[in-house]
Structure 1
Amino acid sequence: MTVTVLDVPKLPWELDNGVKVFRLIAEPIKAEFVPGRVMDVWGYNGRNPGPTIEVTEGDHVRILFENRLPEPTTVHWHGIEVPIEMDGVPAISQPLVGPGERFTYEFTLHQNGTFFYHTHMPMAEMLGLLGFFVIHPKHAYRPVVHKDFGIVLQEWAVLPNNTVPNTLSMEFNWLTFNGKAGPAATPMLVKLGERVRIRLINIGMDHHPIHLHGFQFRVTGTEAGRIPESAWYPQNTVLVGVAQARDIEFDADRPGDWMLHCHLPHHMMNQMVSMVGPMAHSGPMQTGKGMEEGMGIMKGHALSEENAPGFGRGMGMTTAEKPTTSMVGPSPHAQHGAPGGGNTRKDRVPGFPQDMFMPMDEEVAKPETFGLPRDWSAALGGMMTLVRVLPPDKYEEIMTLVKESESDTTAAQPGAMCIASATAPMTMGPRIWPRHGAQPADRDAMQR
């Protein structure tokens, strides 16, 4: 059983006289949080989060590290018991690795569990220098799981019209799972009746109460390893604190598309906290713009000039002076009737509007989203994704689509290493995956 960290590749290794040898490169990269929103961040081997290192208890590993950043750095192996000279603390356990320099980390692994690696330069860590380090036990945990997923929790502060995160900020307006925000995060596919493990790691500035719909799970592991079964108890929300890991396990015995998300309201949105919460910004933030303008969000009905031509910080009219409208413009849903007629005078409803419903189904379509209902993407934002528990026939159908897409990606990237191509970002081309209700025979008709 291997760990699947969706949207993130595994780090390949070579065997050298019984030693597993990995090559890890720190470098500036571009990362697309959602379609059209590309950020300038730092990562490992061209990815953010960095590729997953997956090994087995008892392995002897050698990590050949290269620094392609414009400043010094190191790598720390969080929670892993290594010799002091391998611990990655700059100037304490090792010298800094300067730009263009290399350093070899080498140690034997006697633990098992969910760990992670990250730079020990704090500001650079906030630019994305981190990744999973999973150590499997020599003998599989009991009860055995059928699916093993990993999710990296990250937060970013990106001002409008900027692509570089502000690492000094204490307020965040982009929240991601495995480097993807909301509907861009690939759903987890599970066959009905399977036992599932989800590994969660948090290397950010905020704690995150992660909630799973539809199931009661057990927390079976932390960043220190496996928890004895006698200490497990049922939960549906687990707090993943800063620098912590939590493994949760459950039996997927209820079919459906179940949400997994951070339950802090502003962490279920992207860029939206800029509209209604404090943010270090001296001038008004213009509304009604596209992805790369104004607020930097997708063009949609969540913003409107009708109620908010600009969002000032310490400037202009405040909500106290204009109590009957919020700072967010109305959506088409605002005029929908309510039982009994409702209040159609929106200017008389304090707080109106709060609807930020912005579908982008086609922009984020991929095989894993096949069969989801129309406008499903509008329900996801920030730290949110889906656990899709599917009947066997539907599961096999979607997995066939996934494999076909992976084959297409591999064919489009001749010479790419197999281990990388299978997990590389998919190039969807013109294909639009059918929504809920479309039959398999309809797929060819839906090509563009």
Structure 2
Amino acid sequence: SRPAIQFNDNRAPAGRLAHGVLTVALEARSGAWRPLGSDRPGVPIFAFGEAGKPLQDPGPLLRVPLGTEVRARVTNRTGAPLVVHGLASRRVDVMDTLVVPPGQTRAARFVADAEGTYYYWASTRGEGFEQRQYQDAHLNGALIVDPAGATPKPDRVFVVERWMPRADTSLAHNQWFELFTINGRPWPLTERLTYDVGDSVRWRIINASNAVHPFHLHGFYFRVDAHGDDQRDTVYWPAQRRMDVTEPLWDGTTMDLAWSPDRPGGWIFHCHLNWHVVPNTALPPDTERVADRIAHIENGYPGAHMEDHARYGMGGLVLGIYVRPPRGWKPYTGARRTLRLLVQSDSAPDDSTRRFGYVLQEGDRAPAPDSVVVPGPAI
């Protein structure tokens, strides 16, 4: 049987760092990936792990100060040629790749010569980054280069990945059964994050999937500090940093963000594309028929009630956040204004595309069902 793949929250760096040198031994091999729980069916995928340790999804975190020499050995136990990208210096025109024949070990030796948020990735099928979808899609790991000579500020590293079933004659067919994960898990199994009011929160987001994700934070603005990819990271100077609530993260790119919660409560951080947060697909042998999967996404799963929508009506790229109230905090008990905001369409039945808009109800009388205000009403 295949070894179980463990989820990696990217908290503990891999390897041994001593006297300015990181020594790490990686292995790539097949494992059983069970993103929906250890008691649920899984699928075989390739993953990285440290030699002699369990496989991880995403792969082991490599984190070093600027100027560190990295000595990485990669053993290929996938049964196919392995091409590894990203285990190289960044201040070069073209980064070296590492080609590892089946059953053999090859070494990469480089200097971490640029601060930033990076990643390494691999393929066994000679595919480019955009083409990986099945067994190779989770051969990824974070590579973080911190400033030299200083303790890095606390942060978290989140790696976004995408899994699709084995290649089929219809890509559209497979997309109904794709699965998006953050650090190896889809919602509602993703990590829950807890902060205090006033905390300084710093995240590094790595989009190791071949899809774009406009990430949105509920309740607060965040500051975009950097954007990059597997080779370059652009750290913004203060005038370039912008406050945002939704920021697109293109396939293969990275983002550093910072924010501070100013009030308690439950919040989420998620991809704003609705088909990236639909209920998770079941994995073989429990996979549904295409027609049933489509119907369940559009109309809900049997027994999934709206009052428990967060658990049964969502999946994929969602992080749950709880902000603890400060000592002596009391909820607001003053007057409240109740607003009724409706989403409606003024399209005719024979229109080729339906148009939707918002309408704010004024008074006790509901607006006409085909009324739409464009742009939406000010609140």
Instruction: Quote the Cα distance in structure 2 between the aligned partners of 1:63 and 1:79.
Output: 10
Give distance in 1, aligned partners of 2:23 and 2:203: 27
TM-aligned CA deviation for residue 234 of structure 1: 1.2
Letter in structure 2 aligned against 1:174: L
Is contact 1:41-1:128 (8 Å) kept? yes
Distance 2:33 2:283 in 1: 15
TM-score normalized with structure 1 length: 0.59
Q: How does 1:19-418 map to 2 (within 5 A)?
A: 19-35=21-37, 36-45=40-49, 46-77=55-86, 80-81=89-90, 87-88=96-97, 96-119=99-122, 121-122=126-127, 126-138=136-148, 147-158=154-165, 165-166=166-167, 169=171, 171=175, 173-223=178-228, 224-271=233-280, 293-295=285-287, 312=291, 327-328=295-296, 353-354=299-300, 358=304, 377-378=311-312, 380-391=314-325
Give the C-alpha shift of residue 198 in structure 1. Answer: 1.4
Cα distance between partner residues in 1 of 2:303 and 2:235: 40
Structure 1 stretches lacking a partner, 5+ long = 89-93, 159-164, 273-289, 297-309, 314-325, 330-350, 360-372, 394-448
More strand by share: 2
**Inter-CA distance 104–84: structure 2 relative to 1 (3 Å threshold):** farther
**Superposition deviation, residue 196 in structure 1:** 0.6
Cα deviation code 1:263-292 (max 9, x no counterpart): 1111001456xxxxxxxxxxxxxxxxx875
What are the ranges of 5 or more consecutive residues in structure 2 without an aligned counterpart? 1-6, 50-54, 328-379
Report deviation, 1:295: 3.3
Task: Give the 3-state SS of the residue equivalent to 2:194 in structure 1.
Answer: strand
Compute the TM-score of the two structures, normalised by the length of structure 2: 0.69
Please give the alpha-carbon distance, in whole angstroms, between the structure 2 residues aligned to 1:195 and 1:167.
46
In 2, the alpha carbon distance for the partners of 1:356 and 1:173 equals 21
Helix, strand or coil for the counterpart of 2:275? helix
**Matches of 1:17 and 1:71, distance apart in 2:** 36
Distance of 1:114 and 1:204 partners within structure 2 = 16
Give the letter aligned to residue 39 of structure 1.
Answer: V
Match for residue 397 of structure 1?
none
TM-aligned CA distance change 1:124 to 1:72, over 3 Å = farther
Give 1:97's aligned amino acid: V
Higher helix content, 1 or 2: 1
> Could you give the per-residue CA deviations for residues 391-417 of structure 1, whole angstroms, max 9, x where no partner exists?
367xxxxxxxxxxxxxxxxxxxxxxxx
Rounded Cα–Cα distance in structure 2 between residues aligned with 1:387 and 1:135:
27
How many residues are paired up?
298
Shift of 1:37: 3.8
1:40 Cα shift?
1.1
Give the fraction of aligned pairs with identical amino acids, expressed as a percent.
Answer: 24
Give the residue type in structure 2 aligned to 1:328. Answer: H
Deviates more, 1:13-22 or 1:218-227: 13-22
Q: How much is the aligned-residue C-alpha RMSD, in angstroms?
A: 3.4
Q: Is the contact between residue 148 and residue 197 of structure 1 (CA under 8 Å) also seen in structure 2?
A: yes
